[in-house]
Amino acid sequence: MKLIKQFNKRAEKFDNNTVWVNSDELFHKCTLQLNDLVPDARCVDLGGGTGYIPRKDIANGSKRRWTIVDISSSMLKNNNDNKNFTFVQEDIQSTTLPSDYFHFAIIRSVLHYTNPSKTIKEAWRILKNEGYVVICEKVFEYDDEFFKKYNKLIKLRNPFKKQTFRKGDLPKLVESCGFQLLKSHVIKEYYETTLDSFLDRSGTIPEKNKNEVVEIIELLSASSKFPLTIKDQKIKFCHAWELTYCKKDIDSKKRISPLVISIIVERQFNTETYILLQKRKKRIREPEFYNYWELPQGKVNFGESLFETAKRELKEETNLEIENYNLFKLENNQYYTESFDSEFIVTIKGIINYYAICIKVNAKGIPKPNVLDTEPTWINVKKLDTFIENEKIYPLNYPMIKKYVDAFANNT
Ligand SMILES: C[S@@+](CC[C@H](N)C(=O)[O-])C[C@H]1O[C@@H](n2cnc3c(N)ncnc32)[C@H](O)[C@@H]1O
């Protein structure tokens, strides 16, 4: 296979010629979760190449038992005499490793060579329940206008790369492969190298591609918006690395998250009734609902009453101060009947099951988001029915708003 040949050729100089391999920051971010595991945890580096991460971990004094899997014998060879590791020369998309075995897996800069979904599912298979996987891949996160050129550059430099990931692709993928997404974030690293070494890479860049590679570098370099510059035969560039932290948790789909209080803030403007909606700006938990409309809401903290939670969450999210409130079920105002339910259990794609209670409040102040701009907006209740049908509404809140709208209509 040509890819194996390429890595066999790169192997000897890999650690010295690959600018990012020995970054302390990347090592630190990739191995953070190891500290949560038993001291002699079984760990696997999938597509581990020269085994930089396991070698450094062992050199730092850890007792962890590492397995390094790679298709290239030469990449593995440099460490074959090291008794601290087990080496497996296999395709990581389908290995002979035992199921439910490892506490931890790392996949760094590999998935653009493989079928990512197949590889992540294989990681899921070999991990124990409650085991962790960290995926660390370069991602494209710049203006779309550069994507085509950047992609071309990558393909010319390495025709074996099957795909370029964009920021956010991997967090979605891990969830679709059964993992629980714990966190993901992007870090940027800046590198500098000579044009010669960029064009050489142990002689693996096709000779016929080199002129075009230089042309694209010069084109990208001409724009001050793209982080790549060439000057005096030296190249400076930036890699955005997306780190995706996941857990194999076979029970997570059955669990209910802590109790959530959702808040309908009602206000009169010129004799019309309005409620407050805001946009969801969370990118790590449930990124698929980014920019959906939602109610202000949050989880009940230890020792808090429902009303204290509502007060705290509303202040935190919108800066509004609650004046009075009603549980839908217990309220005594004219809009709702005794049969109005206040409790909702909503399953979102089987990932997070929420048990939520909805509270209707009057609150004073002007809505002002505290951290990200959640675009708080007063929506006229008469238009709410059409609004929730035409706009994207966070699934937990849809049934609550729907009930509120129906109750409002029945009482006016
Ligand atoms: C860019 S290197 C990264 C090495 C290592 N993960 C690191 O961060 O230092 C990519 C590695 O993936 C390996 N690789 C690519 N496709 C593979 C596959 N299907 N199965 C196993 N290893 C693979 C290559 O042989 C190479 O060693």
Query: Domain residues for 84?
Result: 2-247
218 and 289 share one domain: no
Ligand 1 centroid vs 132 CA: distance in angstroms? 19
Q: Whose CA is nearest to atom 23 of ligand 1?
A: 47
**Is residue 135 lining ligand 1, measured as CB closer than 6 Å?**
no
Domain count, the chain: 2
Residue 355 to residue 341: CA distance in whole angstroms: 13
**Is residue 309 lining ligand 1, measured as CB closer than 6 Å?**
no
Q: How many CA atoms lie within 13 A of 79 on its CB side?
A: 28
243 and 257 share one domain: no
Please choose from 71, 136, 239 the residue to mutate so as to test ligand 1's pocket, defined by most ligand atoms within 8 A of CB.
Answer: 71
**Is residue 318 lining ligand 1, measured as CB closer than 6 Å?**
no
**Is residue 153 lining ligand 1, measured as CB closer than 6 Å?**
no
The amino acid present at 363, given as its one-letter code, is A
**Pick from 102, 164, 108: which is nearest to 135 by CA?**
108
Residue 337: which CATH number?
3.90.79.10
Task: Note down pLDDT in tens along the chain; length 412 residues.
Answer: 788 888 888 888 888 888 899 999 999 999 988 988 889 999 999 999 999 999 999 999 999 999 999 999 888 776 656 677 899 999 999 999 999 999 999 999 999 999 999 999 999 999 999 999 999 999 999 888 888 899 899 989 888 888 899 999 999 999 888 898 889 999 999 999 999 888 888 888 888 888 999 999 999 999 888 889 999 999 999 999 999 999 998 876 666 677 889 999 999 999 999 999 999 987 656 777 889 999 999 988 888 888 889 999 999 999 999 988 765 543 333 333 333 344 554 545 445 677 788 888 899 999 998 777 899 999 999 999 999 999 999 988 888 898 889 888 877 6
Q: Which atom of ligand 1 is found nearest the CA of 11?
A: 27
Q: Which atom of ligand 1 is found nearest the CA of 119?
A: 19
Give strand pairing partners of 298. Answer: 261
81 and 192 share one domain: yes
What token pair was written down for 215? 């042309």
What token pair was written down for 68? 């390094």
Q: Which atom of ligand 1 is found nearest the CA of 136?
A: 8
Determine the 3-state secondary structure of 300 from DSSP: coil
348 and 303 share one domain: yes
338 and 394 share one domain: yes
Ligand 1 centroid vs 49 CA: distance in angstroms? 5
Q: Which of 226, 247, 268 is the last residue of a domain?
A: 247
Ligand 1 centroid vs 71 CA: distance in angstroms? 7
44 and 172 share one domain: yes
pTM of the full predicted structure? 0.67
Please choose from 55, 110, 111 the residue to mutate so as to test ligand 1's pocket, defined by most ligand atoms within 8 A of CB.
Answer: 110
Q: Which of 192, 215, 247 is the last residue of a domain?
A: 247
228 and 162 share one domain: yes
161 and 106 share one domain: yes
222 and 260 share one domain: no
The residues near 248 (Cβ < 8 Å, ≥ 6 apart) are 124, 127, 128, 129, 130, 131, 132, 133, 178, 179, 180
**Is residue 265 lining ligand 1, measured as CB closer than 6 Å?**
no
Residue 32: which CATH number?
3.40.50.150
Secondary structure element (H or E) that encloses residue 379, with its range: strand 377-380
Q: Which atom of ligand 1 is found nearest the CA of 49?
A: 27
185 and 285 share one domain: no
Q: Whose CA is nearest to atom 25 of ligand 1?
A: 72
**Is residue 19 lining ligand 1, measured as CB closer than 6 Å?**
no
**Is residue 7 lining ligand 1, measured as CB closer than 6 Å?**
yes
Q: Which atom of ligand 1 is found nearest the CA of 45?
A: 6
206 and 306 share one domain: no
The amino acid present at 141, given as its one-letter code, is E
Secondary structure element (H or E) that encloses residue 66, with its range: strand 65-70
**Pick from 263, 267, 269: which is nearest to 297 by CA?**
263
324 and 227 share one domain: no
Separation of first and last alpha carbons in the chain? 73
Q: Which of 247, 268, 296 is the last residue of a domain?
A: 247
Ligand 1 centroid vs 3 CA: distance in angstroms? 10
Please choose from 2, 112, 113, 154 the residue to mutate so as to test ligand 1's pocket, defined by most ligand atoms within 8 A of CB.
Answer: 113
**Is residue 108 lining ligand 1, measured as CB closer than 6 Å?**
yes
